[in-house]
Amino acid sequence: MNNSYLSLDLFTQVNADFEKRQYLILAGLKKIEDQFYLNKIYPHLTELVELFKTLKEIKQKLEDLREEFPKRIKNVDLVNKNIEYEIVFVEGSDISLVEDLIEWVLPHIERLLHAGITIHEFVENDLSVEHVGIIPNYRDEGYFFLPDRKTDKIKLFQFELSIFRSAEDRYRSLKTRYVKSIKIGSARLSPNSIKLDLIKEKKDLPNPATFNFDTNLDYPFRETIFPVAKRKLMQVIYDD
């Protein structure tokens, strides 16, 4: 999580500076909260999701690790023929501090995640998208048009979908390239006319899949409108 407000090291390299770590983490969360207040959700929302998932995995592994620690007899109940054990896990050690810090921070991250997801869902629901012209069978390349209400422009992008596989899963990515902008106030062109002009200008895509977005929100384009639109475009293409 380079260049972010929170790094994983803050949670996993805990010594005697427990309170200092709490202060640094709260400061990082506050910076993200300030960005959300400005309706700027990326890249911080993605980083928060990853951080939350990673910390929960670490917490679970530490809990599993506790079970592997040596045990000693704590109490013997001769009446009920029961022996109670306790784990030899030194409280105050680094690993215990990591557990405590993660346990403390997870509700804070979850609260902030909820705020970011709420903004994301609001923008996604407001963004409408429609096909421009006839949609070809091949939809892995094409164009999409997206309004930027802050600058009063329609921004045109070329996209390319790609799929890559790991040993365990399949991943999709959407590469985009900015083409140009058209002033909303002076542009009397319909989405179909814009598409036809692009076909004339760029001969490499004679029959491109093309999508037109619309929204009245004047939220930050780069940090919110654009990344939410990309995610929605991927859903639209794969759901068709």
Cα torsion for 227, 229, 231, 233, to the nearest 10°? Answer: -150
CA–CA distances in Å: residue 31 to residues 5, 24, 213, 228, 239:
7, 11, 31, 21, 36
Q: Which of 45-49, 66-70, 119-123 has the lowest mean pLDDT?
A: 66-70
Chain center to CA of 71: 41
pLDDT tens, position by position, 133-189:
988 888 889 999 999 999 999 999 999 988 766 556 667 789 999 999 999 876 567
Share of residues in the chain with pLDDT > 90 (%): 55
Q: What is the pLDDT of residue 165?
A: 62
Output the pLDDT for position 184: 84
Residue 80 has pLDDT above 80, yes or no: no
Identify the band that residue 90 occupies on the pLDDT scale cut at 50, 70 and 90.
very low
Domain ranges across the chain: 9-125, 129-239
- Average of per-residue pLDDT values in the chain: 84
Pairing of the two strands 209-214 and 141-148: parallel
> Any idea which of 36-40, 59-63, 150-154, 162-166 has the lowest mean pLDDT?
162-166
In this predicted structure, what is the pLDDT of residue 109? 97
Residue 224 pLDDT greater than 90, yes or no = yes
